[in-house]
Amino acid sequence: TCGNTWNTDSCFVRNGSETNMSGISPSQEFFNARVLGLTPSPAQFGHVRWELALLLLLAWTIIYLCVFKGIKWSGKVVYVTATFPYVVLIILFFRGVTL
């Protein structure tokens, strides 16, 4: 629907009988405004995306700990990061089987 905060005046809900449309669909507006955070012009920077800023802080913290603690500690981290995707895949597999 076009009733969300990221929708503009050019938003339209597609109808099967309309063939010539010059607006933007709600899914395109969501992707451009909410996911990408595009602004109307390149001169406007927009706002800080806190979810991305926190993830960036987490990534730099992990990098700092790997450098600060040394190779022995990062070797232990590899055990977790190498096996974690397999654990998630097994969970998703059993979740899919039980549907």
Q: What is the pLDDT of residues 1-23, one digit of tens each?
A: 677 776 777 777 766 555 556 66
Q: Which one has a higher pLDDT value, 64 or 26?
A: 64
Record the tokens describing residue 46, joined without a space: 């927009």
- Residue 66 pLDDT > 70: yes
Least confident of 2-6, 44-48, 51-55, 92-96: 2-6
First to last CA, the chain: 29
| Phi, psi at 69, each rounded to 5° | -80, -25
